[in-house]
Structure 1
Amino acid sequence: MISRTSLPVPWLRLGRIERYVLVQQARSLGIALGVIAALIMLIDFVEVSRGVGSDVDLSGARILGLMLLKSPQVIIQLLPFVFLFGTLAAFVGLNRRSELIAMRAAGVSAWRFVLPAAGAALMFGAITVAALGPLAASADGLFQRERARLSGSAAGAEASPTVWIREGDDTRQMVIRAQRQDRSSARLLDVTFFIYTNDAEGMRTFSERIDADTASLSNGSWRLVNAVGAEIGQRAVRYATLDLPSSLADEEAFERFARPQSTSFWSLPAQIDRVEAAGFSSTAYRLRLQQLLATPLMFAAMSILAAAFSLRLMRLGDLARMSVAAVVLGFGFFFVNQAASAFGSAEVIPPWLAAWLPPLLTALAAFTLLFYTEDG
């Protein structure tokens, strides 16, 4: 008669195997992350010291602070390689110590320790997108602003460079160009307004140009001082002051759109709406949003790909060749990702396809190799 306590023993044994493999993977991932992060920070330290440090005299501590703001975003972008190298190192180590052979001889399917590793990568990808990514994006935005401030002060610039603003509605669009902006008094200097009208069919026609010494935004209207305006076919008219209705909030006139890499995952939907409301293309922001959503799948696919190559070592006995093949294939998918991003930014393919195609191809290749290795 079989006792009740004897039934769960095989499941406990499998659970311990899975936990053991996860611990080995986590250890290898930590080492891979440390090596890649150290290389990135070293490169960024040199780049910051030669870039910003050449424009203004900065102490070593200040350069180190700027490097710590810049590096996290780059490290997160290279996390797929952390999972590729880390998982590959973990399973190759298990294979060298004949632990994988012992597991397979005991009847343990490769899926029992490959899928938990992929699941852990999937969960870490979700944490990266939801928590680590926004922190890195904020740090990158702070680095960009600090670098612009230091470069501007080094050049002796008291005002920001040319400012472009676009606003309007279904009936009228305004493109605003200012040669300078004075943030202390919230004014645009040497400003030009290009005004377009939309007909019933949505066709946009240029109607008027207005040049002014200054323009300030307050209470839903632009106040232009010493302005000269001319409509098509009409003589120029001078105005001491001129008010133009505006749909912008007061703080938006002097706020530049943060670049997609400096925008957190949680802020991207609102940023997309703001960019489209201003009349600009939101393709780069939509592509960034879809890439962040596909990040967990990319991490999991890289883990499965590395594990699948490691499992074939038992049968082929060629450690160097298979390891190099896994690394080369990983870099190949990285270049596919870069090419897809370029096509998506150029609107050759939709942003969602450019973001999801590389991780899907990686996952399909990994599962194909794993099926062939395991089920044969």
Structure 2
Amino acid sequence: MIRIPKTLSRYLSLTFSLNLLGMAAILLGLIYMLDMVELLRRAAKFENVPLSLVIQMGFLKLPDIGQTIFPFIILFSALFTFWQLSRRQELVVLRSAGVSVWQFLAPIAAVAAAAGLLVAFVVNPLGAIFYGKFRLLENMYLDSDHSTVALFDEGLWLRQETLDGYAMLHADKVEMPSWKLQEVTTFFFDKSDIFTKRIDADAAQLKAGEWVFQEAVQNSVNEQPVRVPTLILPTNLTTREIEDSFSTPETMGFWNLPSFIATLDKTGFDSTRLRIHFQTLLAQPFLFMSMILLAAAVALRPQRQGGTFLFIVGGVVIGFVMFFLSSFLQAMGASHQIPVFLAAWSPALLGSLLGIAALLTLEDG
């Protein structure tokens, strides 16, 4: 087996990189225009929403959408690159010179892996910042209710430790940025998970190291209800920790995810969705390399009649199968039906195994 020259490696890497940039520009531009139509439709329902603001919101949202379609960009760029090389008979020359499929795929796979690292370590954190600003503008201009934020459909739930056990706090709405909770109900349990008392309050304010309940009614087991104008519950939670912990994965960058997950665990709530998101970002380079292998398995097959049509259809089918497989496994992981690692890494592992198996068949017959 001959060693592939560095000049050839640079040529293959550059060809794929240029195709990757071009494909990204085309697909992201198309998605931006479609998203702009939706934003303009929503903006038409409100007054004083300038076109410049809608354009800005479209750009702020684009990096988040781009991360979703980047596996497609890698796949289609690889397919187009292999089609170019085949059309110019360069693949035939490479194979005639004794270059194996693994040798000329290595530079392209390396570029794909680098793109995966770039997406996970740079694009994702920047996209999270931009998407957070988009959500802020969306709440200000495209949402009819500016006064409160509902973290869940049923309101906000928090769990915190107490001296005798723990407390579960529920509020219907939260006034931002004062962090004043409305219609608050707090359930207290001892260390044996036995219910001890309940506090109902019209409102509660989170201050430094304490919850301040206003117009509270305390109901203890085997005791009469007691009305208290002001009631204090010590806490070690801060507004920043709670707000960040309940952010969606789209608003959290790669480097901040570990601390967000720790905050969720500290409040006693499920962090599985964030853990899957974090592991999925770690798996990006391997997922992108698996796309190269799958694209090569389709593009390097012997061309027959109708080969171009089957070539395109095969690429589209692979892309959507991988997309739905990834979404399905992540949903199963979020519902605790499969482990987090399996939910995040299976698409990359399965794609790589299928691609390698297909290429071994083509290479060795």
Alignment of 1:143-222 (within 5 A): 143-152=134-143, 154-155=144-145, 157-161=146-150, 163-169=155-161, 171-183=164-176, 185-199=178-192, 204-222=193-211
TM-score by length of 2: 0.90
- Which runs of structure 2 are paired with 1:153-302 in the superposition (5 Å)? 154-155=144-145, 157-161=146-150, 163-169=155-161, 171-183=164-176, 185-199=178-192, 204-249=193-238, 251-252=240-241, 257-302=246-291
* Conserved 8 A contact 1:183-1:254: no
Cα distance in 1 between the residues matched to 2:321 and 2:302: 21
Provide the C-alpha distance between the structure 1 equivalents of 2:116 and 2:177, rounded to a whole number of angstroms. Answer: 42
Q: Is the 8 A contact 2:159 2:269 kept in 1?
A: no
- State the structure with more CA Rg: 1
2:40 matched residue in structure 1: 49
List alignment gaps of at least 5 residues for structure 1: 1-9
1:255 to 1:86, Cα distance in 2 relative to 1, 3 A: closer
Aligned CA distance change for structure 1 residues 53 and 299 (closer, same or farther; 3 Å) = farther
Structure 2 contact 245–264 (Cα < 8 Å) conserved: no
Structure-2 change in CA distance of 1:255 and 1:213 (3 Å): farther
Seq. identity, %: 32
SS of corresponding position for 1:213: strand
Q: Counterpart of 2:49 in 1: which secondary structure?
A: coil
The answer to whether residue 99 in structure 2 is matched with residue 121 in structure 1 is no
Q: Do 1:95 and 1:314's aligned partners in 2 also have CA atoms closer than 8 Å?
A: no
Counterpart secondary structure, 1:78: helix
* 137-146 or 278-287, larger mean C-alpha shift: 137-146
| Secondary structure in 1 matching 2:194 | strand
User: Does the 8 Å contact 1:209/1:231 carry over to 2?
Assistant: yes
Comparing 79-88 with 54-63, greater Cα deviation is found at 54-63
Indicate conservation of the 8 Å contact 1:164/1:175, yes or no.
no
What secondary structure is seen at the aligned counterpart in 2 of 1:58? Answer: coil
Aligned equivalents of 1:365, 1:38: Cα separation in 2:
31
Deviations 1:190-239 (A, max 9, x none): 4332222231xxxx232222122332233422222322211123211121
In structure 1, what is the equivalent of residue 93 of structure 2? 102
Would the alpha carbon gap of residues 191 and 42 (structure 1) be closer, same or farther in structure 2, given more than 3 Å must change? same
Q: Assess if the C-alpha contact under 8 Å between 1:309 and 1:323 holds in 2.
A: no
Number of equivalent positions: 360
Question: 1:79 and 2:70 equivalent?
Answer: yes
Query: For residues 115 and 184 of structure 1, what CA distance do their matches in structure 2 show?
Result: 52
TM-score, normalising length from structure 1?
Answer: 0.88
Alpha-carbon offset, residue 161 of structure 1? 4.2
Contact in 2 for aligned 1:176/1:194 (Cα 8 Å): yes
Aligned partner of 1:6 in structure 2 is none
What residue number does 1:40 align with? 31
Of 98-107 and 53-62, the range deviating more from structure 2: 53-62
Per-residue deviation, 1:329? 2.2
In structure 1, the residue matched to 2:351 is 362
Alignment-derived partner of residue 329 in structure 2: 340
| Equivalent residue, structure 1, for 2:81 | 90
SS of residue in 2 equivalent to 1:101: helix
One-letter code aligned to 1:130: F
Question: Once the two structures are superposed, what CA deviation does each residue of 1:130-176 show, in whole Å capped at 9, x if it has no partner?
Answer: 11111112211221232123344x34x53444751413227422222
**Cα RMSD (Å) of the superposition?**
2.4
The gaps in structure 2 that reach 5 residues or longer are: none
Match of 1:3 in 2: none
Q: Secondary structure at the match of 1:344?
A: helix
C-alpha distance in 1, partners of 2:74/2:244? 38
Instruction: Please identify runs of 4+ aligned residues in structure 1 that moved more than 6 A.
Output: none
Q: Separation in 2 of the partners of 1:27 and 1:80?
A: 16
